[in-house]
Structure 1
Amino acid sequence: MMKVDLHCHSNVSDGVLAPAAVAAYARKGGVDVWALTDHDEVKGIGAGRAAAAQQGMRFVAGVEISVTWANETVHVVGLQIDENNAALVQGLAATRNGRDARGREIARQLEQAGIPNAYEGAVKYVGNPDLLSRTHFARYLCEIGMCASTSEVFRKYLTEGKPGYVPHRWATLADAVGWIRGAGGIPVIAHPGRYPFDRTAEGALFDEFIGLGGKTIEVVTGSHTPDQYATYAEIARRYGFMASRGTDFHAPGEARVEFDKLPPLPAGLTPVWHDWF
């Protein structure tokens, strides 16, 4: 069975490894079709494409766009995009704008909570200075022993109501879906089980997404718990969504599921890649 992974990050955004190293790690995990989907940035796609060819993998050009919806951050993955599309490139640049100011405010709040020098510490982990993120702060707080894992840092310091949480207004859902479709790509709601929506709000998100031309959600992802695979498989069937799959890889040992352990899509779903090859 062909192993497809359509959600991965490199150090061009908030991953740890360069695109070529992610490609090698994915191939070692048995991946046959691989997408690089960095946050709000497409500059790693050229290196990713070349590395995938060297590793003998099919490559899918992708991106993950940060969206503000119902005052929460939602992520929309774009697959099979033209990374040189002007509207997409300009939209991503606008979405990235403000990350540094947000990072400095996160550091100020952490200092008030007794954690000094967090900005300088986070910047050490940044591969792309335009994409300072909460994940970089989380890695620094693990480095200095404040928490045992990045997920623990998020729970204690970087989510709403905690010291270090600074909201940021990203793109709209209409913007993200429009940029992806305008670049010839397929928009995908990333890890829908990760958002704090009840069923009514989640349904409203899916309805708006469908109205904008969206037809795909992630079902099997490293950001879902195993029981959520079945939950979102059923939702995909109910709405008629195609299904996507990906580890949401950021670093070796940091993900819930490694490349070689992520299960296939449940039966009865139409994979988003069903007619690509």
Structure 2
Amino acid sequence: MRVDFHTHTTLSDGSLSPAELIARAVEQGVEVLSLTDHDTLAAYQHLPEDIPLTLIPGIELSCVWSGVTVHVLGLNVDLASVDLQCAVAGQDQARELRAQKIGERLAKQGVPGVYETARAAVGEGRALGRPDFARVLIERGAVSSFNQAFDRFLGAGKVGDVKMHWPELGTVIQWIVASGGVAVLAHPLHYKLTRTKLRRLLVDFMEAGGRGIEVANGRQWSDADIDFLRSLCKSFGLMASVGSDFHAQTPWSEVGCDASLVSNCVPVWSAWQ
């Protein structure tokens, strides 16, 4: 069986619309899919009428733990949950204020109107990210490439590097649990924590109500990494999830993962089956 519990659409920072992503997943033989856009549930308002696979409502929420930004997936959430809807509205407002601040800073650097142009290009209902600003900078001739946009304006330590003030890990997990969902730590190795610190994160994650971790994410992890994450699932009594973290059609992030990657761990989908 092929499944995918971590994908992104154009309603956050993906390259395919919800309908296009679902069609792509069907082409790849995916039987169970979740659309987990960053801090938004908007994709679920743009679904096709016919969905020839099992769609699990999901979201990827940003938060902070010990000064480190981490991402938590909420899987099988209730889309009508008032708690989750209020949380998403707050996250969306934070992202919008950040985007406006980036625009103000770019204007002071002699590139005015970038926020307004980017907002008009993506429309209402989707948060703006730095890639959206990079596209406008390229169109304006301020830079010649995405790399140059980040090197000059948007990368770490540059004028457009506006930090977000995300909620704490426990708060985000509470939102997911209140909505009836399962909280899963996304791409645990992405944060480049020592193994000791990662175990500390998992202890706090579980105490707050977290129930699973991704043991595979895209195709960039080695067999040794996946084996290590499976061992963490077993030792902590966590469920195992898998996802492509799909944003665009590239060889390493194609939609769909083999369900056997969870190996002899408890699969996250057992929580709602």
Of residues 230, 233, 246 in structure 2, which corresponds to 1:236?
A: 233
The structure that has the greater radius of gyration is 2
Name the SS of the counterpart of 1:200 in structure 2. Answer: helix
What is the SS of the residue equivalent to 1:33? strand
Q: Distance in 2 between matches of 1:99 and 1:70?
A: 21
Equivalent in the alignment of 1:43: 42
2:78 paired with 1:79: no
- Cα 1:275/1:64, change in 2 over 3 Å: closer
3-state SS in 1 of match to 2:235: helix
Corresponding position: 1:17 with 2:16: yes
User: Residue deviations 1:156-176, cap 9 Å, x none?
Assistant: 764543442111111221111
1:152-191 map, 5 Å: 158-191=154-187
Q: What is the alpha-carbon distance in structure 2 between the residues aligned to residue 159 and residue 179 of structure 1?
A: 31
What is the alpha-carbon distance in structure 1 between the residues aligned to residue 198 and residue 150 of structure 2?
A: 22
Distance 1:223 1:172 in 2: 29
TM norm structure 2: 0.84
Q: CA deviation at 1:198?
A: 2.6
Find the counterpart in structure 1 of residue 119 from structure 2: 123
Q: Which amino acid aligns with 2:7?
A: C
The separation in 2 between residues aligned to 1:206 and 1:27, in whole angstroms, is 34
Residue 209 (structure 2) aligns with = 213
The aligned residue for residue 28 of structure 1 is 27
Q: After TM superposition, give the deviation of residue 213 of structure 1 in Å.
A: 1.6
Structure 1 position 246 matched with structure 2 position 243: yes
Counterpart Cα distance in 2 of 1:224 and 1:206 = 22
Report if the CA contact (8 A) 1:177-1:212 is conserved: yes
Question: In the superposition, relative to structure 1, how do residues 67 and 127 fare at CA in structure 2: closer, same or farther (>3 Å)?
Answer: farther
Q: Which runs of 5+ in 1 are unaligned?
A: none
Conservation of the 8 A alpha-carbon contact between 2:7 and 2:255:
no
Counterpart-to-counterpart distance in 2, 1:69 and 1:118: 32
Letter aligned with residue 9 of structure 1 = H
Alignment-mate amino acid for residue 70 of structure 1: S
Give the counterpart letter for 1:225 in structure 2: W
Paired amino acid for 1:133: G
CA separation in 1, counterparts of 2:135 and 2:38? 17
The aligned counterpart of 1:68 is 64
Distance 2:90 2:46 in 1: 23
- Kindly provide the amino acid, as one letter, of the partner of residue 210 in structure 1: M
Identity, in percent, stands at 35
**1:167-214 deviations in whole A, cap 9, x for unaligned?**
111122111111111111100111111114333332222111110121
- CA contact under 8 A between 2:213 and 2:238: conserved in structure 1? yes
Pick closer, same or farther for the CA change 1:215–1:156 going to 2, 3 Å: farther
Aligned length: 270
* Deviation larger for 109-118 or 193-202: 109-118
Between the aligned partners of 1:181 and 1:63, the Cα distance in structure 2 is: 13
Tell me the equivalent position of 1:222.
Answer: 218
Match of 2:254 in 1: 258
Q: Is the 8 A contact 2:242 2:257 kept in 1?
A: no
Deviates more, 1:153-162 or 1:195-204: 153-162
Instruction: State how far apart, in whole Å, the 2-side matches of 1:142 and 1:256 are.
Output: 26
Distance 1:22 1:260 in 2: 11
Question: Given residue 265 of structure 1, which amino acid in structure 2 is its aligned partner?
Answer: L
Q: TM-score, normalised by structure 1?
A: 0.83
Instruction: Find the partner of 1:194 among 183, 190, 193.
Output: 190
Q: Secondary structure of the equivalent of 2:21?
A: helix
- What are the Cα deviations for residues 37-94 of structure 1, in whole angstroms up to 9, with x where unaligned? 122222322443x55xx24101101111111222232111101111111111111111
Deviates more, 1:107-116 or 1:208-217: 107-116
Q: Which has the higher contact order (CA 8 A, sep 6+)?
A: 2
2:272 and 2:71 map into 1 onto residues whose CA distance is 23
